[in-house]
Structure 1
Amino acid sequence: EETYFVDEYGKRKKGEVYEEEGVEYEVSEILEELPKNKKLFAHIEMESGRAYLVGELREGDKNLEILRLPAASLLLAYFKKHRLHHLIEALKNVGTATELVKQRGQEGKPYPFEKLPNVARRFLREAKKVEKEAGFGRVALAYFGENKDGDARFRVSWLLPTIALFEIDIAEKADKILAAFK
């Protein structure tokens, strides 16, 4: 017996038989909630150079894959739904880790850490807190001083685990940190 999961809640009833693409299916059970002793586990897998969010239903040693979706488009939709505009703007690459890039002004000679302004130091400090909460991360900041108009010139590259960005608390903190560094 094989089990298939469909995303058509409320469309079918128990015992109903239907055909889809020439294959006949019978609805034997409709799950209203997660069965006891089963856990839902999500992770990111790379396949042919693309990142996928994979959801599995776990019971003991058994894993049953219930979803596989492109992580990049899902992450972008998630950011849009939660109005995380700074993450949307910074989103550069999505794999098992997501790269966020923010740049302003022309590059020049980067300042040493000791000469960074408070806003840059605060960004680095807060980014490290998010990385610790997310499980890992790497931030690279090159601060080039201010231009003639007094605007900061910088380049930030920040790697965070893709799966962690689907956790709203982490995503909101990352968005807020990116917003503060102007």
Structure 2
Amino acid sequence: MDGGTDILLRGDEAGLGTPNEDMTSLAAVAGLTEIPQRLVLSLGFGIDAYHGVNHAQVLENIAALERAGAYLGAFSVTRHHPEGVLYLDAVRHAAECTPDHPSIVQGSVAAAMRGEFGDTHFTSRTAGSELFINPLMSLYFAFELQGLADRCHYLDRLEHTQLVRQAGRAVEDYRDSLTRRRPPRVIPH
């Protein structure tokens, strides 16, 4: 499960967001081949723009995963579903328990579920940045894990890392080895 969409990046995009934890988790579960059904869910389309993710490239990657048979579809959680009510309650409760450090990802998804849009801030942690709260943040995108893992260009470089900083260095080394990165694109509409 990824809060955001940076787990869907293969490595040669304009920006990777914050891949270390996501991709080490992906690599670890990809190695658990005895588990028959392994899925990846992504919630929070648009959140990773703050960390340099180009969401046109995310959509391009989802299309490629569809062609490969690894995209399983998407579903929405709304504030009108029982699950949505429970989710909003959990986000509210967590924010009350951690008032100095509420989750930006979960707060953004909750704001989208409440119908908020655009540069809407719910915590001082996002001060000085421009947010794009939007209805797509409440969509869960589902993928077959192995298909996603097969498309990540540097996943094998993470296999023998043990610390987050080692994983970060492996990602940086991969990025430094690229002769060309995919240029960012604009969603045309």
TM-score of the aligned structures, taking structure 1 as reference length: 0.28
- Find the structure with the greater CA-based Rg: 1
Higher helix content, 1 or 2: 2
Higher strand content, 1 or 2: 1
TM-score of the aligned structures, taking structure 2 as reference length: 0.27
